[in-house]
Amino acid sequence: MAMTMTQKILAAHTGLDNVVAGQLINAKLDIVLGNDITTPVAVNEFNKAGFNKVFDKDKIAIVLDHFVPNKDIKAAEQSKTCRNFAGCHGVSHFYDVGKMGIEHALLPEQGVVKAGDCIIGADSHTCTYGALGAFSTGVGSTDMAAGMATGMAWFKVPSAIRFNLTGKLASNCSGKDVILTIIGMIGVDGALYKSMEFVGDGVKNLSMDDRLCICNMAIEAGAKNGIFPVDEVTFEYMKDRCERQPVVYSADDDAEYEKTIDIDLSQITPTVSCPHLPENTKPASVLNEIKIDQVVIGSCTNGRMEDMTAAYKVLNGKKVADGVRCIIIPATMQILRECVEKGYYTAFIDAGAVVSTPTCGPCLGGYMGILAEGERCVATTNRNFVGRMGHVKSEVYLASPYTAAASALTGYITEYKEV
């Protein structure tokens, strides 16, 4: 029976020859992920259920990233719970201050996740790892607890939508513009509990950072997961990085999809998602009268090296507009270090921006950039719900690093155009 790429991975992890959309399965897990917000809840459930050991200390990852360095006593207690649990059970992949990074940038960078994996994480943006050719999806903390104890999770096998990519992006566009365009087309429930499978000749023209960004926001279309085929770009990224051997799965030529949507990457333009849903998209070029107060460049969506390079390209030698707070957050310590070595930090500071250690911080309205009533922010984050970054009467506009940085210079939403 013909299967999609996602279905093949799930079948392999269930020990079945094939699976079909809608089938309930119990699958073996390669990685179970939690962060400093969700892990303490999972630890409590783990203990309540009477578990006394984890299924595999090398297949659990706990990343302190949302409120680290700790912003208050509650955050400190949450981190302490994570440290105690990781120490007690010998969790190999535990990332604390000095080693931490935003989880969905850190795990691919460190080679913890790879092609062919079946991954759950107690964070909705765990779908990021589909960029590597893995099945990965977000779950609740109770499922995380069960996963840590048993190494298993149940799923309903998703049906799939195929996105056929052709062409090549313009130099002022990135993967963020691609996924915002797609969400604008299909809506925030357009792929509800489905697999978003990206194929076509245009895939080779997308970098790994582009793909990670696109899969990261699959959840914003309601998807169970997003996934890319494994190609030369994937292998080059995984080379000398992954601690386990990648396994490659490919969709059958006659696999069944609910529908196919054609996307010509050359027709993508700088795109902005306006308040208060990711589907509320407009071209950046028509929003140039919207005055802003803050710019955030970072997050699990756009805090990677290519994003930092885009920000540098736009900001270097220029000045952030008066009245605009520009906050730049590299997603991992490795990215931070590379920014320092390349001179990006000096350029950012000279431009009038502030640079943070890796943290999710402002994305979820946690700290490092909370909005007051009536304030507007252009952010490279993934959600712009009411009150997402602060006051319920503040506004968040989602954009690429190019658009965000260009907007910081003018004080208005601005499409970046190369000179």
- CATH at residue 24: 3.30.499.10
What distances in angstroms separate CA 397 from CA 185, 356, 384, 413, one per listed residue? 17, 21, 7, 9
Region 340-367 average pLDDT: 95
248 and 288 assigned to the same domain? no
pLDDT at 333 over 80: yes
Q: Residue 243: pLDDT band by 50, 70, 90 thresholds?
A: confident
- Within-domain flag for 84: yes
The pTM is what? Answer: 0.95
Residue 270: its pLDDT value, please?
A: 97
Q: Are 227 and 198 in contact (CB under 8 A)?
A: yes
Residue ending a domain, among 264, 290, 305, is 264
Q: Which helix (H) or strand (E) holds 215?
A: helix 208-216
- Within-domain flag for 253: yes
333 and 238 assigned to the same domain? no
Region 234-249 average pLDDT: 94
pLDDT at 419 over 80: no
- Within-domain flag for 417: no
- Within-domain flag for 419: no
235 and 254 assigned to the same domain? yes
Q: Residue 354: CB partners within 8 Å, gap ≥ 6? A: 325, 326, 327, 328
Q: Residue 418: pLDDT band by 50, 70, 90 thresholds?
A: confident
350 and 251 assigned to the same domain? no
Residue 34: its pLDDT value, please?
A: 97
What is the 8-class DSSP label of residue 66?
S
Q: What is the pLDDT of residues 108-138, one digit of tens each?
A: 999 999 999 999 999 999 999 999 999 999 9
Residue ending a domain, among 264, 284, 311, is 264
Q: Residue 33: CB partners within 8 Å, gap ≥ 6? A: 60, 61, 62, 63, 103, 107, 119, 120, 121, 122, 123, 126, 144
Distance CA 102, CA 110 (A): 12
Region 133-159 average pLDDT: 97
Closest-CA residue to 306 (of 273, 339, 337, 263): 339
What is the 8-class DSSP label of residue 416?
-
Residue 327: its pLDDT value, please?
A: 98
Q: What is the pLDDT of residues 267-283, one digit of tens each?
A: 999 999 999 999 999 99
Judge residue 342's burial from the number of C-beta atoms within 10 Å of its C-beta, 0-12 exposed, 13-18 middle, 19 or more buried: middle
Give the pair of three-digit tokens for residue 255: 């696999």
243 and 294 assigned to the same domain? no
Q: Residue 318: CB partners within 8 Å, gap ≥ 6? A: 351, 409
Residue 1: its pLDDT value, please?
A: 80
238 and 316 assigned to the same domain? no
89 and 23 assigned to the same domain? yes
390 and 254 assigned to the same domain? no
Distance CA 236, CA 227 (A): 17
Region 325-335 average pLDDT: 97
Residue ending a domain, among 264, 292, 317, is 264
pLDDT at 359 over 80: yes
**Number of domains present in the structure of the chain:** 2
- Within-domain flag for 418: no
Region 9-27 average pLDDT: 96
pLDDT at 307 over 80: yes
309 and 231 assigned to the same domain? no
Residue 57: its pLDDT value, please?
A: 97
290 and 228 assigned to the same domain? no
244 and 328 assigned to the same domain? no
Residue 191: its pLDDT value, please?
A: 95
Q: What mean pLDDT is reported for the chain?
A: 96
Distance CA 365, CA 359 (A): 12
Residue 87: its pLDDT value, please?
A: 96
- Within-domain flag for 242: yes
Q: What is the pLDDT of residues 59-83, one digit of tens each?
A: 999 999 999 999 999 999 999 999 9
- Within-domain flag for 39: yes
9 and 43 assigned to the same domain? yes
Which range of residues forms the domain containing residue 341? Answer: 274-410
- Within-domain flag for 287: yes
